Amino acid sequence: MRKIILGVIAVSLVVLTAAPAFAQHHHRRDHGYRQPHARHHYAPPRQHYHPPRHRQNNWVPYALGGLALGALGTGMYYYNSRPCWDEFVGYDRRGREVFQRYCQ
């Protein structure tokens, strides 16, 4: 059974590799002349590409753009954030500490 399967595979590989050799003279009148690519069927005139008017459900670029803009905004927020610190000012009437926030 294995020999039969291997034989079928070998024969199919030989046929597949030899198929281009059989097709090399396709569309030739004789061995030295190659026909120009003539259209034997009706082909409408070529038109410029116009994208379809209906909405396509292609949401991946919008999601990646949103993630990129979010990362850019977060980076700008942390890059432009001013350093702030709290300084001790004193105590209030009840003895609690009071701090004042200063930012550059």
DSSP codes joined into one string, 8-77: HHHHHHHHHHHHHHHHTTTTEEETTEE------S--PPP------SSPP---HHHHHHHHHHHHHHHHHH
Indicate the pLDDT class of residue 9, thresholds 50, 70 and 90: confident
Assess if residue 90 is contained within a domain.
yes
Domain assignment of residue 91, given as a range: 80-104
In a domain, 96, yes or no: yes
User: Is residue 83 within 8 Å of 101, Cβ to Cβ?
Assistant: no
pLDDT in tens, 31-76: 555 555 555 667 777 777 776 666 667 889 999 999 999 999 999 8
The answer to whether residue 13 sits within a structural domain is: no
Domain count, the chain: 1
55: in domain = no
Confidence of residue 92 (pLDDT cuts 50, 70, 90): very high
